[in-house]
Structure 1
Amino acid sequence: MSRLLGLAAGATALVLAPFAAQAQVSGNTVKIGVLNDQSGIYADFGGKWSAEAARMAVADFGGKVLNVPVEIVSADHQNKPDIASNIARSWYDNDGVDAIVELTASSVALAIQQLSLEKKKITMVSGAATSDLTGKACTPYGFHWAYDTRALAVGTGGSLVEAGGDSWFFLTADYAFGHALEADVSKYVKSKGGKVLGAVRHPLATNDFSSFLLQAQASKAKIVGLANAGLDTNNSIKAAAEFGIVQGGQRLAALLLTLAEVHGLGLQAAQGIVLTEGFYWDMDDQTRAFSKRFFEKTGRMPNMVQAGTYSSVLQYLKAVQAAGTDNADAVAKKLRELPVDDFFAKGGKVLPNGRMVHDMYLFQVKSPGESKQPWDYYKQLATIKGEQAFATLAESGCSL
């Protein structure tokens, strides 16, 4: 009799197993929101292409986790923290969104990370740059995935200082990202014995860089550091060419430039620029395989933001699976425990402050004559090990 009761109990457990898993998932759906700029100056930087990368990650995971479907929703925050916060609040309160990813624009990412702390929801940032996300603004539910201002400072800033670029003037986007990038690069330049001769700040989505570039030119700094991104970077590079900045003996440092912006500029305008990314499509068989599939869906090769979004969504689903629930505390614990090993980050690890540590790469943009095929834009100059690129927990200033 006891054996029959045991068999019956085992059979019942097998029957109920899927329902037990579903009971651990709020709303019987795991829902992930991609929140970024889809119509403004960062539309190519991440945009709808990041949403496509997120959908690819869900499909590659099998479309389900813990026996429930996974859904991707996306929205355009227009680079405005108030609009982003309203969308995120509605997603959390009304639509059952469990996590928000990408979050291009540091001002937006900082606002949403704080809202998500209040709501006990996960954020995984691949689009915003400020190292404050895992520094003084860190939270138990916030994760920073693809790159940050510290890594850009060590990569592009460090390489140029070591090559003799020991005096700098900054052209800086006047919001959280630009301020953080200027601060991190300035700190690194000074630590290497260099000098910062000045800085000028421009509004987001500036059309006329004339007055700013005249100040940069007058500074006589060896390096004009562009602490901006997206179309602002492209437009400042084009304007610098008109003003003869490089011809006059100064060098441009595009401190946040990705494959998307290089493609927009074209090799004739972008050739020779040194930049730092966490991913390039033509690095190995794995990056090429993913990028070929991405190209088939989008007609373009991915940059580090889009590839990083794929990686973060895939890792989030792995953490939900390992936790056996979409509860944010349990998932955050697993995100810190699980190694990150995919085409984007080989041997990556997540620090207690939420910073995912992985290798970064220093590239130089090829000349038109060096490029052998479409999207053949980079030559790799160096690998920057993750431990060098990103701040340690102690250095970050995070209170966790």
Structure 2
Amino acid sequence: MADAGFDIRQVARTLSLVENRRPESHAVLRDAYKTGKHIPVIGVTGPPGAGKSTLLDRLALHWAELGERVAVIAVDPSSPFTGGAVLGDRFRMDRASAHPRVFVRSLSSRGHVGGLSRAVQDVVAVVAAQGFERVIVETVGSGQADVEVATLADCVVVVSVPGLGDQIQAGKAGILEIGDVYAVNKSDLPGAETVAAHLEANLDLIYPGQPGVNEAGRIAGHGRPYANAVLHRRHGDAGADESFWRPPVVRIGAARGTGVEVLCQAVDDFLGWQHASGRDDIRRAERFQEHILRLASGRLLAQSLPDGVDHSLPLLADAVTQGAMTPWEAAEIFLDALSETWRQRRDTVENPPAPDKIV
């Protein structure tokens, strides 16, 4: 492990503190964020069975053999009852996990929707401060709802696979809006070319030009397609006087390693273009904005539940169960109780009791 540049046990212990929100993690996170170090975050998402873990194994090994220190964060689904998870992804990353410059960590989603874990943003900050040079994040793989990775990663790789029986998936908005690079895995199987063709056809509806970086200027005959769409904040505008990016569709065979170098090059090309155009700073700022809002809303709700208010939840749930009210009505009652509590707290601050009245 001499050339790894990190102590695997120390990194694992530090991430456990962060994931479990131990009191010691506050100092760790403060130091990590204050370094201001930013490294590329590659998000890999797609449906279950698409071969994401095998692909991550190949990606991590590729960049590690080029001399980079690579952290792989695999988010696993968790039990809604115990919060535990079957952390099985490591078994499909046997090549990369044995490499001295690769660190593999599984995180339980702990019921968090969107395909990620609540702790993953902080974990990314910590591994950056620990000296890693690239992070690859694999999402749970829950399908169309698995789109939160777009707010975390600098480059999102969407993995598709033949044989799922629903070609219309390629045209759904969530898939087309989050991908920076598309990979069709198991490309030797029947139907792989059909999946790739469907993706290309749907990308044609949105993007002019050729896969990858396109030069500045309007593309003849295309006008200004979907100029206000969210995806163009990341990929540029074909009608503006600047270059733009059209997500490529790469055929790969992760199990055999075919096409992986082409995929890695596509990812690095996108990261290079994004950095040159200044979009990486914009994307990073949006990422932290989302993270701050999530933290603030969670903390605000936790601090807004005084004695008695949270105890009313079972009563309200029983009322909905018995048909006495709708969930929307129950939510209104709950919010009214919170509003009353906030009003009382405000009045106490504005009109504090006299010292002789305080027991």
TM-score after normalising by structure 1? 0.28
Structure index of larger Rg:
2
- Structure with more of its chain in strand, by fraction: 1
Higher relative contact order by CA 8 Å / sep ≥ 6: 1 or 2? 1
